[in-house]
A and B are shown apart, each in its own frame.
Chain A
Amino acid sequence: KNEVEQSPQNLTAQEGEFITINCSYSVGISALHWLQQHPGGGIVSLFMLSSGKKKHGRLIATINIQEKHSSLHITASHPRDSAVYICAVRSGRGSQGNLIFGKGTKLSVKP
């Protein structure tokens, strides 16, 4: 079993829909990251959070440490949101900052 599990693997939505991507992890963590990878391959860091909720524009990320679960929400989705969204956790062990990645959720938003 992977230490970081994402669902769904693939998601197709119509423009304007509210989207939720889920991430569950099985290790103790010091932080959780949400990343966006565009078709060209580049990776952009969206959020880093260790508790509660963060909002940036139409994106909202939440984390529940007790339940070892995080969600990424996109409101009023747009075709330009089409990308792979990757959840990654930084293990709480030691002082290293390396990340453990989920396999990603491929989102396609149709106009």
Chain B
Amino acid sequence: DSGVTQTPKHLITATGQRVTLRCSPRSGDLSVYWYQQSLDQGLQFLIQYYNGEERAKGNILERFSAQQFPDLHSELNLSSLELGDSALYFCASGRGSYNEQFFGPGTRLTVL
């Protein structure tokens, strides 16, 4: 158990819908990272927050957005969902930007 929690574990929805994925980092960790793992693209970095502020952006679509709240939990919002958005979404946390990252169990999103 990494200490990082993600909810929900599984999510099945339809094209065009909007979903919110939630992540709670390990106690004391200020950085939260979001990653997408699809069959064809592998693991890709989406976005990083540090202590409530956006720190880095990767291959995140404009239809996706994220935020980190004062209690340090983070949410990833995915809207206007397409079939290609079906993937495993991982959240990871770390003390800072240069520390080891601890991964949550992931949310498996299926868009039908």
- In the bound complex, what is the Cα–Cα distance between A97 and B98 (angstroms)? 6
User: For residue B1, which residue of chain A has the nearest CB?
Assistant: A42
Q: Give the docked Cα–Cα distance between A62 and B68 (Å).
A: 35
- Whether a CB of chain B sits under 8 angstroms from the CB of A100 is yes
The digit string for B1-23, where 1 denotes a CB below 8 A from any CB of A, is 01000000000000000000000
Residue of B nearest to A104 (CB): B42
Contacts of A102 in B (CB 8 A): 42
- Tell me whether chain B's interface is mostly helix, strand or loop, or mixed: strand
In the complex, the answer to whether A45 meets B100 with C-beta atoms within 8 Å is yes
Do B103 and A99 touch (CB < 8 A)? no
User: In A28-54, which residues have CB < 8 Å from any B CB?
Assistant: 30-31, 33, 35, 41-45, 48
Q: How far is the CB of A57 from chain B (nearest CB, A)?
A: 17
Let me know if A86 is at the binding interface, CB within 8 A: yes
Most buried by A among B44, B45, B90: B45
**A88-B56 contact, Cβ under 8 Å, with A41-B106, A43-B90:** no
User: 4 other contacts beyond A33-B100, A43-B103, A98-B33, with CB at 8 A cut-off?
Assistant: A42-B103, A96-B97, A97-B55, A98-B48
Q: Which residues of B contact A (CB under 8 A)?
A: 2, 31, 33, 35, 42-45, 48, 55-56, 58, 88, 90, 92, 94, 96-103, 105-106, 108
A residues near B31, Cβ cutoff 8 Å: 97
Chain B residues, CB < 8 A from A97: 31, 33, 48, 55-56, 94, 96-99, 101
The A interface is mostly helix, strand or loop, or mixed, namely: strand
Interface residues of A (CB under 8 A from B): 30-31, 33, 35, 41-45, 48, 86, 88, 90, 94-104
> B42–A33 contact, CB under 8 A?
no
CB distance from B33 to the nearest CB of A (A): 7
Distance A16 CA – B102 CA, assembled complex (angstroms): 29
Task: Tell whether, in the assembled complex, residue A41 and residue B88 are in contact, meaning their CB atoms are under 8 Å apart.
Answer: yes
List, in ascending order, chain B residues with CB within 8 A of A104's CB: 42
